[in-house]
Chains A and B, each alone.
Chain A
Amino acid sequence: MTAWKTFVRSKIFWPVMALVALVAANTIKTTHFLNIRVQDGHLFGALIDILRNSSPLLLVALGMTLVIATRGIDLSVGAVVAISGAVACSFIASSPNPGAVVTVLTAVAIAVLLSLVLGAWNGFLVSVVGIQPIIATLVLMTAGRGIAMLITGGQITTINSPAYKQIGSGFWLGVPLAVLIAGGVFAIVATLTRRTALGMLIESVGINPLASRLAGVQSRTIIWTVYALAGVFAGIAGLMISSNVMAADANNAGLFIELDAILAVVIGGTSLAGGKFSLSGTLVGVLVIQTLTLTVTILGIPPAVTPLFKAIVVIAVCLMQSPVVRTKLGSRRRVPVMAPVPAEVVS
């Protein structure tokens, strides 16, 4: 029973409960919600849909988790999504042979490389120039959509390339390719941060940048790296999103994805104050948001109202995690009293 008790007390408990409640509600509404069937050798079903639709958000949220762990935030990922899609689609559209695998691979490479540069630019502003993350990334968030429009010439660039379509809606061994890409990235990030010292170093930078620098942690390099990674992940997400619709829409691609990603991270129990982060929490957060979106559709409510339900879930989860409520709930369970620590010792 101790394992269960630890789980109940962990920050991931309420988000998991929210997810279970959503799935239960859907199953009651439509009994075949949990069914997964095989058609033409591919897996189909509502759950697979949720996973596939979560993939871009999961990628963005992974990068966001690392950035938030260093006490930062990245508002520009939505713009990077738009730029990445715009570059890839413009390249494919202007090439003589849009269907060729080589063309698509080149387009993907250019888009990912550009996203890396954009992410590194954010990292440069934050770690070297020393601008607050929210403003540093606001610059690219504002200018980025303009740049994406510049690339597409203000129009929606549509393309026709079966190879490119694979990224968003292809299957491999019956599983959607997008899910495999996002899952692969998740596994790599989880391994790198939890099986090496990287995760601990990132957390130490987030808890106290000055102390970790004095302890010999290269905080500047680490901050630079997480922003660059956030850029790359957003770039891959941008490829998926544009490949899903086979078009680059500079105005609407990835609109508000940064906010959804931040919500997912927060629902997953990672604090915006930096420090400890939970990748599995982020995964649960992303699944909660996507399941919620699907639930709204299943219940026959106009999809535009979805933000209302997102707000309710976020407020509920945040309130349950807030210190006031946790002490009230845990008062009978004898919560260890921590000495008050001054929030800003160094400034």
Chain B
Amino acid sequence: MTAQDVRPPTGPVVPGPVRRRRPDVSRVLHAVRVDRRFLPVVGTIVVLLLMFTIGGARYENFLSGRVVSNLFINNSFLIVLAVGMTFVIITGGIDLSVGAVVALSGISAASLLQSGLPAFVVIPLMILIGSALGLVVGVMVQVFEIQPFIATLAVMFLARGLCYVISLSSIPITDPTIVWLSSTRIPIGDTWSITPSGIIALAGVAAAFFVLHYTRFGRTVYAIGGGESSAILMGLPVARTKVLVYVISGTCGGIGGFLFTVFSRSGYSLTGVGMELDAIAAVVIGGTLLTGGSGFVIGSVLGVLVLGLIQTIITFQGTLSSWWTKIFIGVLLLIFVVLQRAIAARRR
């Protein structure tokens, strides 16, 4: 199918020889009517489908509802973290603190539950811990003009240190609410199923999608990433939005901590080491540029699924050692950034 075929019959007829020959890729894109903005996300979808095809061809039972359901269930916390990270990265910032926030909210919840507080008090508290740390980062970035990298790095150390102040060892959780949340599986059809954590994560994605694309706040987030001084000159509330973005990311860290606690049924100071990098990798694989200004929440979710699928394939293979996961993620990350770079270079 060429570009000419899909053109409406009423369109102008361009004489053949004069027509500028487009490169193949863009001709195909034109044929399927893909906006260039969506190109990176389309790339992620292609990789995801490719991995499903390879996995389905190589292993039995790979293309089942169970595998896909588990992908969502086992990565629910990472989905939430990646969603929060997307907000920050679209403004051109970065948040290194989320992994430590997950650990801090997890271990403080475990220790509070151990001391007898009910779950309905502890769960909001976990999320508030994340929001508070996000607020600290936001104020440091906005008011004191500390670079996001350093501000979030400092908060990462702060949260990690506080974890060890609370407890040096792992605290198990026996609270009935948390146990119920972690052991419930809601079946959908024959093989598909979802957990409360998965529902929370998907709800978070939906909420983030709405906020980012259908509210004034969301548009300001993109505007800041596109050019902070222009956003200020346009009279947008840049200071408030920038602080709020870190609060959102921190809150997502708190929710992620809650989901991880449900997942592991314990609180431990060492959980979530390097989780922020997984979240950043997912966002980048999902097609969001680290320079800010462009990117989609859905892309980040797909990025998390790609990371999860690498893990699944390596588990199915069985003979590959666990460290291949890291190498594969690194290679995939490299391919994606080089591709994005190529796209960005062509656009100019």
8 smallest CB-CB distances across A and B, nearest first, come from A308-B161, A143-B330, A146-B326, A311-B158, A149-B323, A311-B157, A146-B327, A322-B144
Are A324 and B321 in contact (CB-based, < 8 A)?
no
Task: Tell me what chain A mostly uses at the interface: helix, strand, loop, or mixed.
Answer: helix
Q: Which of B151, B321, B337 contacts A139 (CB 8 A)?
A: B337
Which residues of A sit under 8 angstroms from B155, Cβ to Cβ?
311
Are B168 and A140 in contact (CB-based, < 8 A)?
no
- Considering only residues 103-119 of chain B, those with a C-beta below 8 Å from chain A are none
18 A–B pairs (Cβ distance < 8 Å), ordered by A: A129-B338, A132-B291, A134-B290, A140-B330, A142-B326, A150-B327, A154-B323, A259-B157, A262-B153, A272-B150, A308-B164, A311-B161, A318-B146, A318-B150, A319-B144, A324-B143, A344-B227, A344-B229
Taken together as a complex, chains A and B put the C-alpha atoms of A73 and B284 apart, in Å, by 17
Which residues of B sit under 8 angstroms from A129, Cβ to Cβ?
338, 341
Which residues of A sit under 8 angstroms from B277, Cβ to Cβ?
138, 141-142
Are A318 and B284 in contact (CB-based, < 8 A)?
no
Which residues of A sit under 8 angstroms from B290, Cβ to Cβ?
132, 134-135
Contact with B along A276-295 (1 / 0, CB 8 A): 00000000000000000000
Contact with A along B124-166 (1 / 0, CB 8 A): 0000000000000000100111110111011111101110110
Taken together as a complex, chains A and B put the C-alpha atoms of A344 and B229 apart, in Å, by 9
Q: Which of B158, B337, B341 contacts A307 (CB 8 A)?
A: B158
Taken together as a complex, chains A and B put the C-alpha atoms of A135 and B282 apart, in Å, by 12
**Does A304 belong to the interface (CB within 8 Å)?**
yes
**Does B67 belong to the interface (CB within 8 Å)?**
no
**Does A52 belong to the interface (CB within 8 Å)?**
no
Taken together as a complex, chains A and B put the C-alpha atoms of A145 and B329 apart, in Å, by 12
Contact with B along A292-309 (1 / 0, CB 8 A): 000000000010111111
Residues of A within 8 A of B (CB): 73, 125, 129-132, 134-136, 138-147, 149-150, 154, 250, 259, 262-263, 266, 271-273, 302, 304-312, 314-315, 318-319, 322-325, 342-344, 347
Residue of B nearest to A305 (CB): B164
Q: Which of B157, B164, B326, B329 contacts A314 (CB 8 A)?
A: B157
Taken together as a complex, chains A and B put the C-alpha atoms of A145 and B326 apart, in Å, by 7
Are B333 and A135 in contact (CB-based, < 8 A)?
yes
Q: Which of A135, A143, A304 contacts B331 (CB 8 A)?
A: A143
Taken together as a complex, chains A and B put the C-alpha atoms of A307 and B100 apart, in Å, by 11
Are A343 and B229 in contact (CB-based, < 8 A)?
yes
Are B333 and A142 in contact (CB-based, < 8 A)?
yes
Are B144 and A325 in contact (CB-based, < 8 A)?
yes
Taken together as a complex, chains A and B put the C-alpha atoms of A132 and B333 apart, in Å, by 13
A314-B157, A318-B140, A324-B144 known; A138 and B165 CB under 8 Å? no
Which residues of B sit under 8 angstroms from A324, Cβ to Cβ?
143-145
Which residues of A sit under 8 angstroms from B168, Cβ to Cβ?
302, 304
Residue of B nearest to A320 (CB): B144
Task: Tell me what chain B mostly uses at the interface: helix, strand, loop, or mixed.
Answer: helix
Are B291 and A262 in contact (CB-based, < 8 A)?
no
- Considering only residues 171-198 of chain B, those with a C-beta below 8 Å from chain A are none
Are A138 and B157 in contact (CB-based, < 8 A)?
no
Q: Which of B150, B154, B161, B229 contacts A305 (CB 8 A)?
A: B161
Q: Least Cβ distance of B306 to chain A in Å? A: 13
Are A342 and B326 in contact (CB-based, < 8 A)?
no
- Beyond A138-B277, A143-B334, A145-B326, 20 additional contacts (C-beta under 8 Å) are A134-B94, A134-B290, A141-B277, A142-B329, A143-B326, A146-B323, A146-B327, A149-B321, A259-B153, A262-B153, A272-B147, A302-B164, A307-B157, A307-B164, A308-B161, A308-B162, A308-B165, A311-B154, A318-B150, A325-B144
Which residues of B sit under 8 angstroms from A323, Cβ to Cβ?
144-145
**Does B281 belong to the interface (CB within 8 Å)?**
yes
Are B284 and A135 in contact (CB-based, < 8 A)?
yes
**Does B220 belong to the interface (CB within 8 Å)?**
no
Taken together as a complex, chains A and B put the C-alpha atoms of A342 and B233 apart, in Å, by 12
Q: Least Cβ distance of B140 to chain A in Å? A: 7
Taken together as a complex, chains A and B put the C-alpha atoms of A312 and B228 apart, in Å, by 29
Which residues of B sit under 8 angstroms from A140, Cβ to Cβ?
330
Residue of A nearest to B345 (CB): A130
**Does B324 belong to the interface (CB within 8 Å)?**
yes
Which residues of A sit under 8 angstroms from B149, Cβ to Cβ?
73, 134, 262, 272
Q: Least Cβ distance of B150 to chain A in Å? A: 5
Are B161 and A146 in contact (CB-based, < 8 A)?
no
Which residues of A sit under 8 angstroms from B341, Cβ to Cβ?
129-131
Q: Which of B269, B331, B334 has the most CB of A within 10 A?
A: B334
Are A266 and B161 in contact (CB-based, < 8 A)?
no
Are B338 and A145 in contact (CB-based, < 8 A)?
no
Taken together as a complex, chains A and B put the C-alpha atoms of A305 and B140 apart, in Å, by 22
